[in-house]
Amino acid sequence: MYEDIEMRKILCDEIDSLMEHDERIAVLDADLAKADGTIRLRDKYPDRAFDIGIAEQNMASVAAGMAAYGMIPFIGSFTPFATRRICDQLAISVTYAGRSVKIIGSDPGISAELNGGTHMSVEDIGVLRSIPGMVIFEPVDGVQLRQSVKQIVDYDGPVYIRLFRKAAPYAVFGSGYKFDLFKADNVREGKDVTVFASGIMVGRALEAATELACEGVSAEVINIHTIKPIDREAVVASARKTGAVVTCENHNVIGGLRSAVAEVLTEEYPVYITPVGIRDHFGEVGKMPFLSEKYCMTSADITAAAREAVRKKH
């Protein structure tokens, strides 16, 4: 099941709608408004939509200053430039100062595709997760993204939006979905193994769960859309229920979702965890199907990891 509207358009539409009624909201970009889909906001809101230029650290500092005077700025760039390049400004000027800046990092992990290893951020969650007070959110599809933006604006503090820029490869939620920024979604009930997944990996986890069901293995799939603060209650409850855990992420398995889940379970309910994700390796040029195979991130890889996790608990 696929969605044909690009995630960047959905995000821009929602920000636009909120800007019409809330003059506190502003949008800043670092010379990538065309790529990130926010360029049309400059014509509509010339006093609240700005190109800071190829100066991402300055963009973060300007946003922090705006937030100090009651504005709610969104800043955006490709993921590596919106996270590791401006880490000090996010840590000190934004988070330490308690400023309500919203950060958009687009094309995370292998979704950077032909931009290659320099643009293929596989460490952004790990970098920002270690900053106190930073909320990290990765929407899985357009339905969830549409519902998230108002809650992100209303949240008094910094939020990092890890955005798959193109159309979501898998539509997970329907019209009856109700989003909560701080609650994980149980998207498939199961009893033998839990698959915790985020972003583009959720759809692949659901495909794996369907394959596992044909083998008589009941897989529970939990969408961890907010990686920090992680929904500890949901993580522990599902791990207790199944006794076996797989984590799936479009990120280094060090510092991201796998680490967040492990930190909870080592304290609350120790259980074997089989990770699926990039194994401490830089990215490279390639299309997503090739990169998914190279870094063992396909639905078949998730199926194999789930089988291993189930074996380990017996």
Q: List per-residue pLDDT tens for the chain, 314 residues long.
A: 556 799 999 999 999 999 999 999 999 999 988 888 889 999 999 999 999 999 999 999 999 999 999 999 999 999 999 999 999 999 999 999 999 999 999 999 999 999 999 999 999 999 999 999 999 999 999 999 999 999 999 999 999 999 999 999 999 999 899 999 999 999 999 999 999 999 999 999 999 999 999 999 999 999 999 999 999 999 999 999 999 999 999 999 999 999 999 999 999 999 999 999 999 999 999 999 999 999 999 999 999 999 999 998 86
What predicted TM-score, i.e. pTM, was given to this entire model?
A: 0.95
Angstrom CA distances, 72 to 40, 67, 75, 101, 189, stand at: 19, 6, 10, 6, 38
Single residue among 109, 132, 163 that ends a domain in this structure: 163
Taking the C-alpha atoms of residue 168 and residue 139, their distance in angstroms, rounded to an integer, is 9
Task: Please tell me whether residue 307 adopts helix, strand or coil conformation.
Answer: helix
Does residue 169 sit within a domain?
Answer: no
Show the DSSP H helices in the chain as ranges.
7-21, 33-36, 40-44, 56-68, 79-82, 87-89, 124-129, 142-154, 201-214, 232-242, 257-268, 288-294, 299-313
> What total of structural domains would you count in the chain?
2
Residues 6+ apart with CB under 8 A from 104: 11, 36, 74, 75, 76, 77, 82, 161, 163
Tell me: do 89 and 218 sit in the same domain. Answer: no
Does residue 180 sit within a domain?
Answer: no
Tell me: do 14 and 156 sit in the same domain. Answer: yes
Classify residue 14 as left (phi > 0), alpha (psi -120 to 50) or beta: alpha
Residues 6+ apart with CB under 8 A from 242: 190, 191, 192, 193, 194, 220
Does residue 177 sit within a domain?
Answer: no
Per DSSP bridges, beta strands 135-137 and 226-228 are antiparallel
247's enclosing H/E stretch is strand 245-252
144 close to 172: Cβ distance less than 8 angstroms: yes
Taking the C-alpha atoms of residue 46 and residue 51, their distance in angstroms, rounded to an integer, is 10
Does residue 172 sit within a domain?
Answer: no
Q: Provide the domain limits for residue 14.
A: 7-163
Per DSSP bridges, beta strands 102-106 and 49-51 are unpaired
Task: Please tell me whether residue 299 adopts helix, strand or coil conformation.
Answer: helix
Tell me: do 155 and 194 sit in the same domain. Answer: no
Task: Please tell me whether residue 1 adopts helix, strand or coil conformation.
Answer: coil
Residue 110: give its domain's CATH number: 3.40.50.970
Taking the C-alpha atoms of residue 196 and residue 303, their distance in angstroms, rounded to an integer, is 13
Write the single-letter amino acid at 272. Y
Tell me: do 159 and 243 sit in the same domain. Answer: no
